[in-house]
Structure 1
Amino acid sequence: MNLESPKISVSKSPEEVFNFLSDVKNFKSLMPENISKFEVLGDDKFLFALKGMPEIILKKKEVIPPNKIILGAAGGKIDFSLIGNIVKIDDASSEVQLEFTGDFNPMMAMMIKGPISKFIETLATSIPKAI
């Protein structure tokens, strides 16, 4: 399953956006209102939970400055990635798009597609306000 957030314009350079997203504690400011738990577990890992959902641990898997950050599931039964793609528009602005990829059975994919789409859209649209 592959889902993409809308492309969001940010009035910051790609380096500034990349540096913001590279610091896992900054993801707290991007989370939706229905977050029930957020905990930084290290320099490259954090745990979060949304009301009514299981806790999820995300870990930085790969960084390609200043254009891409890949976070992946750390532990748990489900393997997925959250990819932040950053594209330079000019020296003072960039465009960000989040991408969610995971391998789910058809029933699971059907159940989580809506909530995950809304979640990554919330994360992406929060970036310009948070930086």
Structure 2
Amino acid sequence: MNLESPKVNVEKSAQELFNLLTDMKNFEKLMPENIAKFEVIGEDSFLFGLKGMPEIQLKVTEKTAPNKIVFGAANDKVPFTLITNIDSVSATSSAVKLDFEGSFNPMMAMMVKGPIGKFIETLVNNIPKL
């Protein structure tokens, strides 16, 4: 199952945005209002839980400055990646988009498609607030 967020313009350079998004504590500011738990596990990992959903730990699995950050689920029960794509627009602005790629059975995909789509859209729409 693949989902894409809308592309959002941010008034920060690509490198500045990359630096903000590789600092795990900044992800707490991106989370939806229904966040039940957020905890930084290490310099490249964090755990979050939304009300009514299981807790998920994300870990940085790949970084290509200043254009790409790949997060993977830290456990294999829910195999997915969240890819942050950053495009430089000018010296002081950039555009960011999130791509979600998950390996789910058809029943699970049907159940999680809506909530995950809404979640990545919320994350990307909150990035300009950093």
TM-score (norm 1): 0.98
Amino acid at match of 1:9: N
Aligned to 1:116: 116
Aligned to 1:44: 44
Aligned to 1:13: 13
TM-aligned CA deviation for residue 78 of structure 1: 1.0
- The C-alpha deviation readout for 1:27-54, integer Å capped at 9, x for no partner, is 0000000000000111111100000000
Amino acid at match of 1:86: I
Aligned to 2:58: 58
| Secondary structure of 1:46 counterpart | strand
Aligned to 1:91: 91
Percent identical pairs in the alignment equals 64
Gaps of 5+ in 2: none
TM-aligned CA deviation for residue 25 of structure 1: 1.1
Gaps of 5+ in 1: none
TM-aligned CA deviation for residue 17 of structure 1: 0.5
RMSD (Å) for aligned C-alpha atoms: 0.6
1: CA distance, partners of 2:101 / 2:63:
16
TM-aligned CA deviation for residue 76 of structure 1: 4.6
Amino acid at match of 1:118: K
Aligned to 2:126: 126
Aligned to 2:22: 22
Instruction: State the number of aligned residues.
Output: 130
TM-aligned CA deviation for residue 75 of structure 1: 1.3
| Secondary structure of 1:107 counterpart | helix
TM-score (norm 2): 0.98
